């Protein structure tokens, strides 16, 4: 492992790409120290702390949004929206390509079509930034988190104009940083920036554990002992290992290539595999399910408040109280609905992204077939059945990963920003991006005859000889 790190700095091009990527991440973190104009940062941080401790809808929204923005929404900086508007726009156009014939034809045009779709994605990113920025600033104003001199008149217009411009410029700048990492760095720039924002919250989680660790007693309120720390460390290692295994797990379907005879030579006949990822949907089902589950808890809490203030009937008061209590984070109905949504979005995403009929058609066009199955509809039925089964297993894994942080937080009394590293969206994103980065560096090392992280031994250059020896 150490030799692999040293090999990175032996290759000039790879060394420059890694250092360039690290430099872009440093610039990314600098933006978290540039606050928006007119926002009372002290009051905002205090309101976020109270909402998070009370597990209110606002606190749940901040916890979910901070996963993708590095916690800057609680600070309200120019990078407050993070890279999420660009990711959302990319997902929207990715889904539209499966339902709009015009986008499908544009995608088939190759590089020119992809460039056009990328241009439209950037325009959609600007629109999403404007909408989300306006909603966020309006919410801050209704919660009295804006400095008094910006409450009315021209100063209020200045607050909105400067705030929306700052948030939009911050997101577009992060989008540009991601493209520069793709071009001059090690690639996958947007995901690397997203991962950096998630990992930036880990020092605060470690600090909380260190400050509240008390090896002598467990009776003190707010303290954690040796069993809790051991459980956290063991759970973290177990979940990370499981996430890695499921992320790279594949169902390999054997594929036989038909033989073709031309003269005295026989071509084809090779046997290979069609890899189907066990968790093809990735982290998207958890993102969709978690974002939707914000609204029931907030809505039922609002209904309970309105029923208590309005002097409603006893049956309506008891109903709203029951719904509000049972749809809080970690409650049984909440967990069940979240798991059902994860399964739904897992199948939905796989259905949109994968077509067994197209896969069977491509196999037949390339002269390949699944042994024992006729090419065409029979192969498509078999692929569809396999995809349904592996999607069920992948969705079950995502469900376990999604509920672990909530259960740990509720049962052990550990804050969610600490328990979130035991699973959930952030952990899956970090694991997926880390595996991708390792594979990219590994490919660069092996291409230049150096051993990588997954190979054995040191420098492979002296061992490789030509055919003549």
For the chain, the three-class secondary structure string (H helix, E strand, C coil) is CHHHHHHHCCCHHHHHHHHHHHHHHHHHHHHHHCECCCECHHHHHHHHHHHHHHCCHHHHHHHHHHHHHCCHHHCCECCCCCCHHHHHHHHHHHHHCCCCHHHHHHHHCCHHHHHHHHHHHHHHHHHHHHHHHHHHHHHHHHCCCECHHHCCHHHHHHHHHHHHHHHHHHHHHHHHHHHHHHHHCCCCHHHHHHHHHHHCCHHHHHHHHHHCECCCCCCCCCCECHHHHHHHHHHHHHHHHHHHHHHHCEEEEEEEECEEEECCEEEECCEEEEEEECCCCCCHHHHHHHHHCHHHHHHHHHHHHHHHHHCCCHHHHHHHHHHHHHCCCCCHHHHHHHHHHHHHHHHHHHHHHCCHHHHHHHHHHCCEECCCCCCCHHHHHHHHHHHHHHHHHHHHHHHHHHHHHHHHHHHHCCCHHHHHHHCHHHHHHHHHHHHHHHHHHHHHHHHCCCCCCCCCCCCCHHHCCCCCC
- CB of 182 closer than 8 Å to CB of 189: yes
Q: Which residue has the tokens 């020119």?
A: 112
CB atoms within 10 A of CB 195: 21
pLDDT in tens, 116-138: 888 999 999 999 999 988 888 88
Q: Give me the pLDDT at residue 67, please.
A: 61
Tokens representing residue 464 in the block: 């490789």
Per-residue burial over 370-380, b if 16 or more Cβ lie within 10 Å, else e, is beebebeeebb
Rounded Cα gap, residues 20 and 26, in angstroms: 10
Burial of 67 (0-12, 13-18, 19+ CB in 10 A): buried
- Segment 438-447 shows an average pLDDT of 82
Q: Is the distance from CB of 136 to CB of 80 less than 8 angstroms?
A: yes
pLDDT digits (tens, 9 = 90+) for 53-66: 555 555 555 665 66
Cβ(59)–Cβ(48) under 8 Å? yes
* pLDDT at residue 302 in the model: 74
pLDDT of residue 231: 81
Q: Please count the CA atoms within 13 angstroms of the CA of 147 that sit on its side-chain side.
A: 14
Per cent of the chain over pLDDT 70 is 84
From the list 246, 208, 239, the residue with the least C-alpha distance to 404 is: 239
Q: C-alpha angle with apex 117: 113 to 118, nearest 5 degrees?
A: 115
Give the Cα separation of 393 and 43 in Å (integer).
45
CA distances from 351 to 277, 288, 381, 398, 453 (A): 14, 15, 14, 17, 35
Residue 92 in contact with residue 80, Cβ under 8 Å? no
**CA distances (Å), origin 41, targets 37, 80, 295:** 10, 13, 26
Q: What is the pLDDT of residue 23?
A: 92
**Residue 200: pLDDT above 50?**
yes
Which pLDDT value is given to residue 81? Answer: 82
| Residue 458 in this model has a pLDDT that exceeds 50 | no
CA–CA dist 392, 399 (Å, integer):
11
pLDDT tops 70 at residue 276: yes
State the average pLDDT over residues 97-110. 81
- Summarize the confidence of residues 91-109 as an average pLDDT: 82
Euclidean distance between CA atoms 345 and 395, whole angstroms:
9
Domain-wise residue ranges, the chain: 1-200+455-469
Q: Which of 410, 430, 433 is nearest to 421 (CA)?
A: 430
**Is 0.95 topped by the overall pTM?**
no
pLDDT digits (tens, 9 = 90+) for 205-225: 888 888 888 776 554 555 777
Q: Which residue has the higher pLDDT, 140 or 254?
A: 254
CATH superfamily, domain at 1-200+455-469? SecY subunit domain (1.10.3370.10)
User: What is the distance between the terminal CA atoms of the chain, rounded to a whole angstrom?
Assistant: 30
354-384 confidence digits (pLDDT tens): 888 888 888 888 788 888 888 888 989 999 9
Instruction: Tell me the pLDDT tens digit for each residue of 230-272.
Output: 888 888 888 888 888 888 888 888 888 777 666 666 666 678 8
Phi (first) and psi of residue 253, to 5 degrees: -95, 125
Q: What is the pLDDT, as a whole number, of residue 389?
A: 92
Poorest-pLDDT segment among 245-254, 295-304, 435-444: 295-304
In sequence order, what are the residues at sequence separation of 6 or more whose Cβ sits closer than 8 angstroms to the Cβ of residue 76? Answer: 35, 36, 39, 41, 44, 140
Question: How far is the C-alpha of 378 from the C-alpha of 373, rounded, in Å?
Answer: 6
Strand-pairing partners, residue 268, are 259
């Amino acid at each position: 492992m150490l030799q692999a790190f040293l090999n990175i700095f032996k290759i000039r091009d790879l060394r420059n790409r890694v250092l360039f990527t690290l430099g872009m991440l440093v610039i990314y973190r600098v933006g978290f120290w540039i606050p928006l104009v007119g926002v009372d940062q002290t009051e905002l941080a205090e309101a976020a702390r109270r909402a998070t401790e009370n597990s209110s809808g606002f606190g749940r929204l901040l916890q979910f949004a901070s996963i993708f923005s590095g916690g800057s929404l609680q600070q309200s900086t120019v990078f407050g929206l993070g890279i999420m508007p660009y990711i959302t726009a990319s997902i929207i156009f990715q889904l539209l390509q499966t339902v709009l014939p015009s986008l499908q034809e544009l995608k088939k045009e190759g590089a020119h079509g992809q460039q056009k779709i990328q241009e439209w994605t950037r325009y959609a990113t600007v629109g999403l930034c404007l909408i989300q920025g306006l909603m966020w600033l309006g919410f801050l104003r209704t919660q009295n988190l804006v400095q008094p001199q910006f409450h009315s008149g021209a100063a209020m217009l200045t607050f909105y104009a400067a705030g929306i411009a700052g948030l939009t410029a911050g997101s577009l700048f992060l989008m540009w940083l991601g493209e520069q990492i793709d071009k001059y760095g090690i690639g996958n720039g947007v995901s690397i920036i997203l991962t950096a924002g998630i990992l930036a919250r880990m020092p605060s989680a470690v600090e909380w554990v260190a400050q509240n660790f008390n090896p002598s007693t467990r009776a003190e309120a707010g303290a954690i002992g040796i069993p809790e720390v051991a459980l956290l460390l063991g759970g973290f290692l177990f979940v990370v290992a499981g996430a890695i295994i499921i992320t790279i797990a594949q169902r390999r379907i054997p594929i036989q290539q038909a033989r073709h005879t031309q003269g005295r030579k026989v071509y084809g006949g090779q046997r290979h595999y069609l890899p189907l990822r066990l968790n093809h949907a990735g982290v998207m089902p958890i993102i969709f399910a978690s974002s939707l589950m914000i609204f029931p808890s907030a809505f039922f809490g609002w209904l309970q408040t309105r029923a208590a203030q309005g002097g409603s009937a006893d049956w309506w008061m008891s109903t709203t109280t029951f719904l509000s209590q049972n749809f809080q984070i970690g409650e049984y109905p909440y967990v069940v609905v979240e798991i059902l949504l994860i399964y739904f979005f897992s199948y939905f995403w796989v259905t949109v992204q994968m077509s067994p009929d197209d896969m069977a058609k491509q196999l037949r066009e390339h002269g390949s077939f699944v042994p024992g199955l006729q090419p065409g509809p029979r192969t498509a039925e078999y692929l569809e059945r396999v995809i349904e089964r592996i999607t069920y297993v992948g969705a079950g894994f995502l469900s376990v990963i999604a509920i672990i942080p909530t259960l740990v937080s509720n049962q052990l009394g550990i804050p969610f920003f600490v328990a979130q590293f035991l699973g959930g969206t952030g952990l899956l994103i970090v694991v997926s991006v880390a595996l991708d980065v390792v594979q990219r560096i590994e490919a660069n090392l092996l291409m230049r005859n150096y051993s990588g992280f997954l190979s054995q031994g040191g420098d492979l250059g002296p061992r490789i000889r030509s055919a003549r020896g």
